[in-house]
Amino acid sequence: MHTAVTEAVVIPGYRIEKAVGVGGMASVYLAVQESLDREVALKVMSPTLAENAEFAERFLKEGRLTAKLSHPNLVTVYDIGLHGQVYYLAQEYIPGGTLREKMNAGMTVPEILDVARDVAQGLAYAHEKSVVHRDVKPGNVLFRANGTAVLADFGIAKAMDSKTMSTQAGNSIGTPHYMSPEQARAEKVDGRSDLYSLGAMMFEMLAGKPPYDATDPFSIALMHVTHPVPQLPPKVSWLQPLIDQLMAKLPESRFATGDEFVAACDRLFASAPEAQALRDAHMTRKRLAPRPMAMQPTEMMVSDTQKTPRGVSSAASVARPQVGKPGLFSRPPVIAAAVAVPLLVAVGVWLVMQPDPPTAPEPIVPTVVEDPVAINQDSDQPISGIVDLGSQGGVVDESAPLLIEGDVGTLLSKAREYVEIGLTTGSGRRLSSPPGDNAIDIYRAVLKQDPGNVDAVNGLERIADFYERRALGLRDRGLPTGCQAVAVVGLAAAPDRASLRALHEGGCNIKP
């Protein structure tokens, strides 16, 4: 048993409050960074690691690299260094527990997919910066207070990935249950190895057991190389295509990026009969039980979620999102839809748009765009933003009912609040989600009551400006699909804006 003694840990500038985790390689403490009076998670590496000169050098090098990563789904590293013979790393303190704890308590399918998307988006950003995690596992996934999943411990696995370290008794790079085939063969890895590990982790969340298991780690690693991709239980078998591509034996057969995985989630939810049944059930409940605007989206959902014996909810109950953050059916908004088309609210990224949508209504294919372009022009750090599309190409369907109630004054007050949240923070939150309770929908409701209302018109123009800037930023980064997707959302706020229409109809492919 490992025992952490807080009195023995002395790192200048940090006041140790308590031990929060102890392992073979490191101990983690809740500490206060005294210069800023902020709580941090202080990870103190085992003294035995400090004896290895190659580890010491790589730990500092990789730590400095990962400290430059800034993304909502990655833990922020504040400081890294050496004091005496102790290597330490101070990072953002995230009190929501680990994914392993949530898995032990049981998770619904929407919760599982939310976690997988969050991790995939964090990986997409890190891989874009040429940083590979190498040890994606439930213990390295933490949760913010609002339920957002974040990935921790970038760089530490790579620091340990050296000939000297890997030959030490009891030390292996990566965790065998989630290790990619190329990692098991000690070959060079890239971001697709992390996606394989995400697939193995997602399989365990859905099936209640690891994809491969044996009595020793070497046998498990060999199974990743030689055994076929495992099959999900019947109740969640409709998600098997995601597992198949995440866990393909050859890296070139996997999703190339985390963004591609999230886009595949969108397409699957747009076509799978199981997902259609869930969407229909959700919409039926929504129509039968209109709610006050102040009520959060999670309050609309039924509370009779049933979990299978292994902790995964049955297909009849997966429409319930996790409490505390927008879930599978409430995270993104649907901007426009025909009256007869079911409302699909699911997250995804980089869905390929058709330039000429058919005249007949088609099922809505929503898209979430992971926006790597900073809205704050004074910073080169990316800001993640979530937007959503419908199949109507950004044209507002005036016949679509808006389940929004209230007088003009009340609605305008609520819309202004949401605009300030989205524009002031630069996050875009509440501008277009959740459905029926976002600034665009509320301003539209005002204009139904009071056509030409100046405040509503100006508010929609501000929102359109926001999305146009993002679209142009994506275009400048050479990301035309994302540019087009964001332009469509801007058109939902300002359908007549020629500049947004030009971007949507081909301008995103024109480099400035």
CATH number of the domain enclosing 275:
1.10.510.10
Tokens representing residue 266 in the block: 């969108």
Can you give the residue range of the structural domain that contains 500? 332-509
Contact in structure between 366 and 346 (CB atoms under 8 Å): yes
Q: Read off the pLDDT of residues 107-146 as tens digits, 9 standing for 90 and up.
A: 988 899 999 999 999 999 999 988 899 889 999 999 998 8
Q: Are residues 293 and 235 in the same domain?
A: yes
Q: Are residues 110 and 240 in the same domain?
A: yes
Angle between helices 109-128 and 191-207 (to 10 degrees): 170
Identify whether 1 is part of a domain. Answer: no
CA separation for the pair 490, 506 (Å, rounded)? 15
- Name residues whose C-beta falls within 8 Å of residue 326's C-beta, 6 or more positions apart in sequence: 297, 298, 332, 433, 434
Contact in structure between 4 and 16 (CB atoms under 8 Å): no
3-state secondary structure of 314: coil
Structural domains of the chain, count: 3
> Among 71, 92, 113, where does a domain finish?
92
Q: Are residues 427 and 458 in the same domain?
A: yes
Q: Are residues 233 and 272 in the same domain?
A: yes
Identify whether 68 is part of a domain. Answer: yes
Q: Are residues 336 and 377 in the same domain?
A: yes
Q: Are residues 44 and 150 in the same domain?
A: no
| Residue 425, pLDDT score | 67
Contact in structure between 46 and 111 (CB atoms under 8 Å): no
CA separation for the pair 341, 352 (Å, rounded)? 20
Q: Are residues 286 and 340 in the same domain?
A: no
Residue 477: CB atoms within 10 Å: 14
Residue 38's φ and ψ, nearest 5 degrees, are -125, 145
| Residue 476, pLDDT score | 85
Q: Are residues 352 and 499 in the same domain?
A: yes
CA separation for the pair 434, 333 (Å, rounded)? 5
Please give, one letter per residue, the 3-state secondary structure of 364-394.
CCCCCCCCCCCCCCCCCCCCCCCCCCCCCCC
| Element housing 50 (H / E) | helix 47-50
Q: Which of 118, 135, 437, 441 is catalytic?
A: 135
Q: Are residues 259 and 279 in the same domain?
A: yes
Q: Read off the pLDDT of residues 450-501 as tens digits, 9 standing for 90 and up.
A: 999 999 999 999 999 998 998 898 888 777 777 887 888 889 899 999 999 9
| Residue 205, pLDDT score | 97
Identify whether 491 is part of a domain. Answer: yes
- For the chain, list residues with pLDDT below 70: 1-8, 23-24, 155-174, 277-403, 425-427, 433-435, 511-512
Identify whether 230 is part of a domain. Answer: yes
Q: Are residues 83 and 26 in the same domain?
A: yes
Residue 67: CB atoms within 10 Å: 18
Contact in structure between 178 and 141 (CB atoms under 8 Å): no
Identify whether 281 is part of a domain. Answer: yes
Residue 269's φ and ψ, nearest 5 degrees, are -70, -25
> Among 70, 92, 114, where does a domain finish?
92
| Residue 284, pLDDT score | 52
> Among 310, 326, 342, where does a domain finish?
326
Q: Are residues 314 and 446 in the same domain?
A: no
Asked if 135 is an active-site residue, the reply is yes
| Residue 470, pLDDT score | 86
CATH number of the domain enclosing 73: 3.30.200.20
Question: SS3 helix, strand, coil % of the chain, rounded to 5?
Answer: 45, 10, 45
Q: Are residues 492 and 356 in the same domain?
A: yes
DSSP state of 312: B
**One-letter identity of residue 313:** S
Identify whether 59 is part of a domain. Answer: yes
Identify whether 223 is part of a domain. Answer: yes
